[in-house]
Amino acid sequence: MAIKSSDQITIVDLTDAYSVMLSSDAIALQATATNKLNAVKTVVVNVLALRGSEAITPSVTAADITCPTNVTASVGSASGNVVPITFTFAAALNAAGSITIPVVVDDITITKTLPFSISFVGSTGAGAISVMCGNEAQTIYCDKDGKVSGEQTITIPFAGYQGTSRKACTLADPTLPSGFTKTSNTAATASADGSYVCKVANGTALATNGEITLTFTCGSTFTKKFTYTRSDVGATGGKGDKGDTGEAAVSVVCGSDSITIACDKDGKAKAASTIVIPFAGYKGTARVACTVTYSTLPSGVTLASNGNKGATTSADGSLTFNVASGANFGGNATMTGVITLTFTCDSKTFVRKFVWSKAITGATGATGAAGADAITLVITSSGGTIFKNTAIATTLTAHVYKAGVELTDTQIGALGTIKWYKDGGTTADSTGITKSISAGDVVNKAVFEARLEA
């Protein structure tokens, strides 16, 4: 079956990067014996996932978590976008180790490793001095502009130990970021935890991540880092539900990228003709205004009267050049060349190369009849060509031009049938002037080709 004309278009699906965070990067266990934990310990670690800046609920399955002997894990119900995991350490545990936690976000698995250590009781000498900090990370909820949404409180409990015995411990007032103020700083005693409390003022502009250095004194000096993470409310979501809506992608569809000019045996155009290049601009799924400039034209090629029509929010634009009879395009022996097209769409610039070439009549033999009008096929996409996070919904339309004039559906039907092929396939998966594309049709990227077949 003869192919009279064809064109192809690439649809791209972009995905935000994923990140998974644990509320504790490591677990420190305090033993009451010299060679084993000697008492059951439980520790809760929260799992938070982000897609770009959007907080999403991760999926964690207890059976998929790999724990060493004498360690077990159970997964609780999600609270908001946070999933708690409770780890139980048996009294017989006698060595440090690590826990492997597979976390599923959408269809992607990200594996986190959580190390744990044991501070055993020394057999001789004074017990080791340690400081336990009960809160080392916290999410601070903000509005879509990254400003704190309502005054929020951060409480950091802490305790000092020498061996297994509590020991007095103080926390020096840390240097706080702008917008943070201290509420109270209570020292830990030999019988009770201490705590540091501060507040973050409503409307405070926060960086995406930050940290506060905590300096404890408990016989010796200990330094720990408290980290906070900003979680923004989306443009239409609730608190912590969704990040800002991304800006729609801008694209330009150029309806023609090459042409062949019939020339005599001396390399000169056999007849006057026109070159028509349709184009359109899109921002997401909406048409936007688009203009074009072009590089120096070859000899014998000029811009037609009113030949540079910009695309609008409702119609395609077009660039029309006149080719003079006898034009040699800069030299009889010059067989091909390029006209550089520079499109401006929504303050963004797109460069395309339009290639012309000569079809030379042989030096001998009779002069053939004038060739048939060129048939050109151009694909446009109602929703643009770049989508995000599988939110794909667009209609591809095949436009057929004969001698630069777009044909009606009836005229196209008289020439043949439009058939659609995907990713270089040899069997058409649909026919017709239009083709609807949805999320299931594209995995990362897909190339769709329309052919006018007779």
- Average pLDDT on 209-236 reads 85
- pLDDT confidence bin for 281, thresholds 50/70/90: confident
- Most confidently modeled of 16-20, 244-248, 382-386? 382-386
* pLDDT at residue 238, as a whole number: 47
In CATH, 128-244 is 2.60.40.10: yes
Task: Say whether pLDDT at 92 is over 90.
Answer: yes
Q: What distance in Å separates the CA atoms of residue 413 and residue 405, rounded to the nearest whole number?
A: 16
Please, are residues 175 and 182 in contact by the beta-carbon 8 Å criterion?
A: no
Please, are residues 96 and 118 in contact by the beta-carbon 8 Å criterion?
A: yes
As assigned by CATH, the class of the 247-364 domain is mainly beta
The structure tokens listed for 42 are: 């439980």
Query: Could you tell me the residue ranges of all domains in the chain?
Result: 128-244, 247-364
- The terminus-to-terminus CA distance of the chain in angstroms comes to 6
pTM more than 0.75: no
The DSSP output letter for 149 is -
- Average pLDDT on 355-379 reads 75
* pLDDT at residue 55, as a whole number: 87
Q: What distance in Å separates the CA atoms of residue 66 and residue 77, rounded to the nearest whole number?
A: 20
Task: Say whether pLDDT at 239 is over 50.
Answer: no
96 CB-near residues (< 8 Å, 6+ apart): 115, 116, 117, 118
Query: Checking DSSP bridges between strand 258-263 and strand 348-360, what pairing results, if any?
Result: parallel
pLDDT over 90 for what percent of the chain?
Answer: 46
Hey, do 128-244 and 247-364 end up sharing a CATH topology, with the first three levels equal? yes
- pLDDT confidence bin for 454, thresholds 50/70/90: confident
Please, are residues 383 and 394 in contact by the beta-carbon 8 Å criterion?
A: yes
Q: What distance in Å separates the CA atoms of residue 425 and residue 277, rounded to the nearest whole number?
A: 28
Task: Say whether pLDDT at 204 is over 50.
Answer: yes
